Amino acid sequence: MKTIKGPALFLAQFAGDAPPFNSWGAITRWAADCGYVGVQVPSWDARLFDLEKAASSKDYCDEFAGVAAEAGLAITELSTHLQGQLVAVHPAYDTAFDGFAASAVRGNPQARQAWAVEQVKMALTASRNLGLSAHATFSGALAWPYLYPWPQRPAGLVEAAFDELAKRWRPILDHAEDQGIDVCYEIHPGEDLHDGVTFEMFLDRVGNHARANMLYDPSHYVLQALDYLDNIDIYRDRIRMFHVKDAELNPTGRQGVYGGYQSWANRAGRFRSPGDGQVDFGAIFSKLTQYGFDGWAVVEWECALKHPEDGAREGAEFVRAHIIRVTEKAFDDFAGSGTDHAANARMLGIGG
Q: List pLDDT tens digits, range 219-269.
A: 999 999 999 999 999 999 999 999 999 999 999 999 999 999 999 999 999
Instruction: With CA atoms as reference, report the closest residue to 52 among 89, 102, 8.
Output: 102
Cβ proximity of 58 and 343 under 8 Å: no
Rounded mean pLDDT, 193-204: 98
Question: In the prediction, which pLDDT does 330 show?
Answer: 76
> Over 284-297, what HEC string results?
HHHHHHHCCCCCEE
Q: What are phi and psi of 260, to 5 degrees?
A: 60, 30
Q: What percent of the chain has pLDDT over 90?
A: 92
pLDDT in tens, 327-349: 877 777 766 777 788 888 888 88
Summary mean pLDDT of the chain: 96
The architecture in CATH of the region 5-348 reads Alpha-Beta Barrel (3.20)
Rounded Cα–Cα distance for residues 165 and 141 (Å):
8
**Is a pLDDT exceeding 90 seen at residue 303?**
yes
Query: Higher confidence at residue 71 or residue 351?
Result: 71
> In whole angstroms, what is the distance from residue 140 CA to residue 249 CA?
25
CA 285 to CA 318: how far, in whole Å?
12
Across residues 101-115, what is the average pLDDT? 97
CA 229 to chain centroid, in Å, comes to 16
The four Cα atoms 142, 194, 245, 7 give a dihedral, to 10 degrees, of: -90
Contact (Cβ atoms closer than 8 angstroms) between residue 158 and residue 107: no
Q: How far apart are CA 112 and CA 34, in angstroms?
A: 37
Kind of pairing, strands 246-249 and 269-272? Answer: antiparallel
Under the banding of pLDDT at 50, 70 and 90, the label for residue 143 is: very high
Question: Do the beta carbons of residue 305 and residue 258 sit within 8 Å?
Answer: no
41 close to 81: Cβ distance less than 8 angstroms: no
Residue type, 306: K
Q: Which residues contact 304 (CB under 8 A, 6 or more apart)?
A: 263, 264, 265, 267, 270, 271, 272
pLDDT tens, 145-161?
999 999 999 999 999 99
% of the chain exceeding 70 in pLDDT: 99
- CB-side neighbour CA atoms (13 Å) of 317: 9
pLDDT of 282 strictly over 90: yes
* 3-state SS assignment for residue 239: strand
d(CA 43, CA 136): 10
Of 53, 52, 54, 41, the closest CA to residue 14 belongs to 41
Smallest CA-to-CA distance from 243 within 268, 222, 264 is with 222
Identify the pLDDT of residue 351. Answer: 75
Burial category of 322 from C-beta neighbours within 10 Å (exposed 0-12, middle 13-18, buried 19 and up): buried
Question: CA-CA distance, 209 to 200, in Å (whole number)?
Answer: 11
Mean pLDDT of 275-290: 98
Kindly provide the b/e burial profile for residues 49-76, where b requires at least 16 CB atoms within 10 angstroms of the residue's own CB: bebebbbeeeebbeebbeebeebebbbb
Mean pLDDT for 133-144 is 98
pLDDT band at 352 (very low <50, low <70, confident <90, very high): low
Q: What is the pLDDT of residue 190?
A: 97
- Band the pLDDT of 114: cuts 50, 70, 90: very high
Q: What is the per-residue pLDDT for 146?
A: 97
